[in-house]
Amino acid sequence: MTISDEPVTLNNRAARLLPQLQTWRRHLHQFPEVSFQEHQTAAYIASELRQMPNLEVSQPTATSVLAVRKGTQPGRTVLLRADIDALPILEENSFEYVSQNAGAMHACGHDGHTAILLGTAKLLSEQAETAGELRMIFQHAEEQSPGGAEELVFQTDLMDGVDVVTGLHLNSQLPSGVVAVKPGAFMAAPDNIYITILGRGGHAAHPEEAIDPIAIGAQVVGNLQHVVSRGTSALEALVVSVTYFQAGSTTNVIPERAELKGTVRTFSPELRERAPELIERVVRGICDAHGAKYEFRYELGYRPLINDDGVAEVLRQVALETVGEDRAVVAQPTMGGEDFSAYLQKAPGAYFNVGSGTRELESDYPHHHPRFTIDEEALVTGVQMMAAAAQRLAQPD
Ligand SMILES: [Zn+2]
Ligand SMILES: [Zn+2]
């Protein structure tokens, strides 16, 4: 590290960390591990954290890592969260640190989130004075329901005494370095539906003797859109998408059954509670009308992610000070889901986005795309935001 005349602000310290952030992120990118299998990833994170001063490092579960910085002054307990898992995707990038684990890829940017939280841990651990208690959780298995957050929040003592939570997701659809925050509903609950229509098979030339599950299933698909357009208020966000329809095997046989699967996305907990009955009523009505039976299963995914207004306001202030008015924007709500919502069951908090998309670097592919990558400059913005937010949120009331 060279000695420079620049003032030693958090922003400057984070900017100087870029080569280290790249090293961490590229190592993680090269050796991705999918949800609940992040053993090498967790070992790497723990060994990097153990080289930093003033941190207590532990593993609350087999593949998650916790670093705690106990403050030198009174204050609040702040939880900072990064997710660390990769996806079962065959990477199509060609840079030198491309995935070495064929069939696994950091295609959502969690390698970047991990590097950002390592960088944040480094800055905060080297700080002589800190307020409150800073807990940095490197969470496993965000990408696979029921999610790693559920386990950490409800089966470990991670959240005991936590006053406030924050975390971020890189966003390839926002320009690199932009910080997006919004109060209130931010991300949807991603639930799943499974429908089996039980008809009666027969000869395709004599449909009157059969109960055709395909014709009935087609009506179910069409009528489910009425749940959205006629069954709920236009002011309540709801998406119902049937994404799977499987039936039959040849041209002259009406099959016995049709299998349908799909996703239901909501923000409002009240609407989410009503959704299973609204949907089943349509399935039941159509099947009854045509003499078919059915099986229906509604699978709850992650909870909707509702940001606390007060914490979101603090993050907005931090964003204004960190990246300036031009790059601090109001986030758009998204119908995507995120298990960060589990932490918010135990403490108020807010989740935000840091843009990582740069056309010239081709880092604007959508998340989960086999050519997804990030503009690594965004890692610096991520550290600046996380470290500043942690310090601000840890101040005593
Ligand atoms: Zn993802
Ligand atoms: Zn993600």
Say which CATH number the domain at 126 has: 3.40.630.10
Residue 333, helix vs strand vs coil: coil
CB environment 287-307: b (16+ within 10 A), e (fewer): beeeebebebeeeebbbbbbb
Question: If you ran DSSP here, which 8-state letter would residue 209 be given?
Answer: G
Q: Are 63 and 36 in contact (CB under 8 A)?
A: yes
Q: Are 132 and 76 in contact (CB under 8 A)?
A: yes
**Is there a single domain that holds both residue 276 and residue 327?**
no
Using a CB cutoff of 5 Å, list residues around ligand 2, an ion. 108
Residue 133: the pLDDT is 98
Beta bridge partners of 167: 81, 351
Q: Say what the pLDDT of residue 235 is.
A: 86
Residues 286, 152, single domain; the answer is no
Which pLDDT score is estimated for 325? 97
Q: Domain boundary residue among 299, 329, 360?
A: 299
Q: Are residues 259 and 321 in the same domain?
A: no
- Cis before 146? omega within 30: yes
Predicted confidence band of residue 8 (pLDDT cuts 50, 70, 90) = confident
pLDDT in tens, 346-355: 999 999 999 9
Last residue of a domain, one of 249, 283, 299: 299
Number of domains in the chain: 2
Ligand 2 centroid, distance to 37 Cα (angstroms): 16
Gap between the Cα atoms of 129 and 208, Å rounded: 81
pLDDT at 1 > cutoff 60: no
122-141 pLDDT, tens digit each = 999 999 999 999 999 999 99
Same domain, 104 and 167: yes
Residue 314 sits in the same domain as residue 338: yes
Which residues pair with residue 185 across a beta bridge? 306
Q: At which residue do the structure tokens 């984070």 appear?
A: 14
Rounded distance, CA 100 to CA 118, Å? 22
Shared domain for 261 and 285, answered yes or no, is yes
Task: Look at residue 4 and tell me whether its pLDDT is greater than 70.
Answer: no
User: How far is residue 84's CA from residue 72's CA, in Å, rounded to a whole number?
Assistant: 29
- Interatomic CA distance for residues 61 and 63, integer angstroms: 6
Does residue 171 sit in the same domain as residue 239?
Answer: no
Residue 30 shares a structural domain with residue 160: yes
* Domain region containing 323: 10-185+306-394
Residue 6, pLDDT > 70, answer no
From CA 156, how far away is CA 140, in angstroms rounded?
A: 14
Catalytic residues: 85, 142
Query: What is the per-residue pLDDT for 230?
Result: 86
Q: Report d(CA 188, CA 169) in Å as an integer.
A: 15
Tens digits of per-residue pLDDT, 355-377?
999 999 999 999 999 999 999 99
What is d(CA 105, CA 92) in angstroms, rounded to the nearest whole number? 9
Looking at the structure, do residues 33 and 135 belong to the same domain, yes or no? yes
Q: pLDDT at residue 3 above 60?
A: no
Give binding residues as ranges. Answer: 108, 110, 143, 169, 368
Q: What is the mean pLDDT of residues 49-63?
A: 98
pLDDT, averaged across the chain: 96
Confidence of residue 318 (pLDDT cuts 50, 70, 90): very high
**CATH code of the domain in which 288 resides:** 3.30.70.360
- 51 part of a folded domain: yes
- Over the range 212-225, which residues count as b (16 or more CB within 10 Å of their CB) and which as e? bbebbbbbbbebbe
pLDDT over 90 at 397, yes or no: no
Distance 299 CA to ligand 1 centre (A): 19
Residue that finishes a domain, picked among 234, 265, 299: 299
pLDDT band at 293 (very low <50, low <70, confident <90, very high): very high
Kindly state whether residues 19 and 162 are assigned to the same domain: yes
Q: Are residues 156 and 53 in the same domain?
A: yes
Binding residues for Mn(2+): 108, 110, 143, 169, 368
In percent, how much of the chain has pLDDT > 70? 98
**3 belongs to a structural domain:** no
